[in-house]
Amino acid sequence: MQAATMDPAEETPSMLWGLDPIFSAFARLYVRDILQMTESTQVPGIYFYNSHPIYKVDVLGTVVYKRERDDFFCYGVDDGTGVINCLCWKNDLLKEEANPTKSRGKHSDGAKGGFNPATELEKLRQAQQSRCHLEIGELLRVRGPVKTSRQQREIMASTYYKVNDPVMAVQIAWMMEVPQLYRQCYDKPPQLQPTATGDSGISSLSKATNTIKDFFKQQSVSRFRPYDVQDLLQPLISSQPQTASADQEPVAGPSACQQLRQLLKEALQILQDEGIVYRKVKSQDEVYHVTAHDTDLRIAVKDIIREDSKREKYAEKGCHILHILSAVRQRYSLNVSKAALELVLKSLECNSDIVSTSDSHYTVF
């Protein structure tokens, strides 16, 4: 494999890599993406996936070939997207060539019928041997830094072990988790810009949403109208500088009132997208409900889960979140978003009113 390097002009400065949490974690990437990552021109051994700096990975796959040397195993691991070499060093226990006859003799001299530390240590060594010595077709999980040796991408294992997965539960859970990590982390561009000191680094829109959130916490309001929070944002408009050079005519722009209404509109939209507020009925009278303080919505969601969990279809795993969302929209309000429902479910689960039986399924005790 020809090792690809990243364009220096597009590469993030190394001093900012630590701002990306993926850099310090074992990235659960597909083998295909590990093989295709570009290498840094600043620091050899650092690679980039979607501009995320990565140097250590976590892989689960099937052993498709193996080589053994005195000091290490070399396993070829296939996760369904590609095959990568994993260099797994032997520890001292695996290197030792103990004499079984001599060991049994020493063990028999110990406390007969009681606890023998030497015997237990030998059992531990054998168990470790069986977990680290794999055959073709067995499942291997390996963690470690990525290296390029002789134009071949490989993993230098810091931790590796055989995974016993007779009913494929581990592999199924892995296949469900990794796509979520891609959507939520790896496929999103990194935010590596250093945080500015002071309020100048925070946009007016961010300040506006934070101001409204603080108002909800302090006043414990369950519903409000836009004019109830509009005055809270007035300082954000007044503090914006209006400057013009001496030799230029002032340029006509939106008035302070228009800016305030636009800022409030955008802030409320963000809060709706996050599920923090929602409109139960869309009408000319703009009434927003605060999700965290809406007792009626909590009761409606809890009743839906309690009633539908009794049905044979949902008795075993509980109700899926999409089913709950559909039922809430039919019985309570068409305008409840999935984000708002997730906040309600999280709150009910924290209060032990409901329990999540599996991924996105809920039932009552």
154 in Cβ contact with 142 (< 8 Å): no
Q: What is the pLDDT along the chain (365 residues), one digit of tens a residue?
A: 555 665 655 777 888 888 899 999 999 999 999 999 999 988 889 999 988 999 999 999 999 999 988 888 899 999 999 999 999 888 765 555 444 444 444 444 555 557 788 887 777 777 767 777 788 999 999 999 999 988 889 999 998 989 999 999 999 999 999 999 998 899 988 876 554 444 444 578 888 888 998 888 888 888 899 988 888 888 887 655 444 444 444 444 567 788 888 889 889 999 999 999 999 988 888 899 999 999 999 999 999 999 998 888 888 888 999 999 999 999 999 999 999 999 999 899 888 889 888 778 999 87
Q: Which residue ranges form the domains of the chain, and what is each CATH number?
A: 14-94+123-185 (2.40.50.140), 204-235+256-292 (1.10.10.980), 294-364 (1.10.10.10)
88 - beta bridge partners? 73
Alpha carbons within 13 A on the beta-carbon side of 104: 2
Q: What are 340's two structure tokens?
A: 């708002």
89 - beta bridge partners? 72
For 293, phi then psi, to 5°, come to -110, 10
Encoded amino acid at 65, one letter: Y
d(CA 10, CA 362): 45
pLDDT at 238: 60
Alpha carbons within 13 A on the beta-carbon side of 339: 11
Would residue 48 be called left, alpha or beta, if left means φ above 0 and alpha means ψ between -120 and 50 degrees? beta
d(CA 84, CA 64): 10
Q: Which residue has the tokens 């054998």?
A: 126
263 in Cβ contact with 229 (< 8 Å): no
d(CA 345, CA 341): 6
* Residues of the chain by 3-state class (helix, strand, coil), percent to 5: 45, 20, 35
List own/partner pairs for 281-290 with CB under 8 A and 24 or more apart. Answer: 281/333, 281/335, 282/335, 285/225, 286/225, 286/226, 287/223, 287/224, 287/225, 288/223, 288/224, 288/225, 288/226, 289/222, 289/223, 290/216, 290/221, 290/222, 290/223, 290/224
pLDDT at 245: 46
**Which three-class secondary structure state does DSSP give residue 191?**
coil
- Buried residues in 172-182 as b, exposed as e (16+ CB within 10 A): eebeeebeeeb
pLDDT at 36: 93
d(CA 252, CA 258): 13
Q: Is the pTM of this model over 0.95?
A: no
Strands 83-89 and 152-156: parallel
Strand ranges (DSSP E) for the chain?
A: 38-39, 47-49, 52-54, 56-68, 72-78, 83-89, 139-149, 152-156, 159-163, 223-224, 277-278, 288-290, 319-320, 355-358, 361-363
d(CA 331, CA 53): 47
